Amino acid sequence: MEWLGRANIEFTTSPKPLNLKEKDGKETNLLKICESAVPPCNLNPLLFNGHAQTMWTAAKAHGPQLHYKRRIFEADHAEFNGSFAVDFAVTDPSAKKEADPTLTPRTAYFSKAELEAMGSDDDRPMLVVLHGLSGGSHEIYLRHAIAPLIDGGKWEACVVISRGCANSKITTGLLYNARATWDIRQTIKWLRKTYPNRPLFGLGFSLGACILTNYLGEEGSATPLKAAVVVANPWALHISSKMLQSTVIGHHVYQRVLGNAMRALAMRHKDELEKYTNIDTANLLSLKYLWEFDRAYQCPTWGYPTEEAYYRDASSSDSLLAVRIPLLAINAVDDPIASCLSLPYAEASRNPYTVLCTTSLGGHLGWFEIGGGRWHGKPVCNFLNHMAFEVDLDSISNEVNGKRTSGNPEYGTNFDPMRRKMHVNLNQ
């Protein structure tokens, strides 16, 4: 039936999924919740494969009209200092008329009075979102996923902007990479302090999904987040990169488009890069492909010897093993950017806190339905609503059965999925 646009859906998780309890006392588990949250995947049959679904995103059809207010944070990380932006979804109708022409559409800065008034004792669930490569809160795929939550009137949300993206300014030579978890960590700490009664949830897309998964692995059970969803995570970056470079369309279309996006980002911040780094900006701005940008910028900036070393070190497939909150991961098997060869089936099957949901169709952040809707928003909203309003969040155990999940104590071995090649002070 795939040729009619009906995608096959499969779930991968531990043979013993995480046990949970509903607020009415009913016993359930993470797999059952995910299965009930994920509806049939009926996509536009004219967009019959991953390339068609992915390329259709360039059509830039109008999506839900979300509005944001932007707050600028000064990083509290000693090494990765500078500033970053967080866009907060506007729920007050009277504030939706404001927009700053220097920012992305429907976005304005908070006024001084609004900044001083931030904070509340309410218990509304709050969603922390990470966008994809060179994106922002304005991205259509992101708005399709969170608009139903915001418009429903029960949720608050904010989008952590990767440094330099979405018309944000940088005050050092640092942009971001797939291991850049420090800004979301600081944001979550600030939210926990400013809104102490709000349960916090996470949502990441593409590279943002990789960053969010890495953050969850680094924090383990210490994260204040109650549950999370990651969509179109590239998982093993070195595999996805090699797969892109191995095909004509991958190399000359996707790598070039992604490279152009990063080159435009570098162009926007050329003065800062020249002031604060030794990067050869003339060479950087002449590059065509994403892997070339990563070699020219990511390697010298962060200290990786090669882009392949960076890809291996920043991948999040091992991080999945260290996640200790309920996590739903959604990927399309025909995704030409986040290759199916990088999907962490084995890792998901070893961790009861995670469920990997794969659809046979959908492309990269596509999932276009007939009429222009985006399917991925449905499981995202269903899962988050169920976790926020129906599950007893206190029933989530920090460690399943209190047992370690990797290593062999008999022989004194211990596998640490978060042991990286490059040591970074996480500022936890």
The DSSP secondary-structure symbol of 10 reads E
Residue by residue, DSSP assigns 148-208 as HHHHTTS-EEEEEPPTT-TT---SSS----TT--HHHHHHHHHHHHHSTTSPEEEEEETHH
Annotated active-site residue 335? The verdict is yes
Which one is predicted more confidently, 237 or 92?
237
Would you say residue 202 has pLDDT above 90? yes
pLDDT tens digits along 184-197: 999 999 999 999 99
pTM: 0.96
Q: Are 147 and 59 in contact (CB under 8 A)?
A: no
- Per-residue model confidence (pLDDT) at position 405: 55
Contacts of 307 (CB under 8 A, 6+ apart): 241, 291, 294, 295, 298, 299
* Per-residue pLDDT, 286: 96
Residue 379's nearest CA partner among 236, 261, 231 is 231
What is the C-alpha to C-alpha distance for residues 226 and 324, in angstroms, rounded to an integer? Answer: 10
> Is 364 among the residues known to form the active site?
yes
Residues with Cβ within 8 Å of 268's Cβ and at least 6 positions away in sequence, in order, are: 164
Point out the catalytic residue in the list 269, 364, 376, 386: 364
Return the bridge partners of 331, or none: 358
pLDDT bin (cut points 50, 70, 90) of residue 121 is: very high
* 33-60 pLDDT tens trace: 999 999 999 999 999 999 999 999 888 6
Top-confidence residue, 305 or 59: 305
| Close Cβ partners of 133 (under 8 Å, ≥ 6 residues apart) | 206, 207, 258, 261, 262
271 is catalytic: no
Above 80 in pLDDT, residue 61? no
Active-site choice (335, 342, 376, 386): 335
Confidence of residue 1 (pLDDT cuts 50, 70, 90): low
Least Cα distance to 188 among 204, 200, 179 occurs for 200
Residues 73-82: tens digit of each pLDDT: 999 998 899 9
Going by DSSP bridges, is the β-strand pair 68-74/107-109 parallel, antiparallel, or unpaired?
parallel
What single string gives the DSSP state of each residue in 69-89?
EEEEEE---SSS-SEEEEEEE
The residue from 14, 206, 240, 339 that is catalytic is 206
User: pLDDT tens across 352-384, in order?
Assistant: 999 999 999 999 999 999 988 999 999 999 999
- CA dist., res. 128 & res. 290, Å (int): 27
Are 155 and 122 in contact, with CB atoms under 8 Å apart?
Answer: no
User: What secondary structure does DSSP assign to 216-235, as a single string?
Assistant: HHHHGGG-SEEEEEEES---
Please state, as a whole number, how many other Cβ atoms lie within 10 Å of the Cβ of residue 105.
13
Distance CA 136, CA 354 (A): 26
Taking the C-alpha atoms of residue 40 and residue 43, their distance in angstroms, rounded to an integer, is: 9
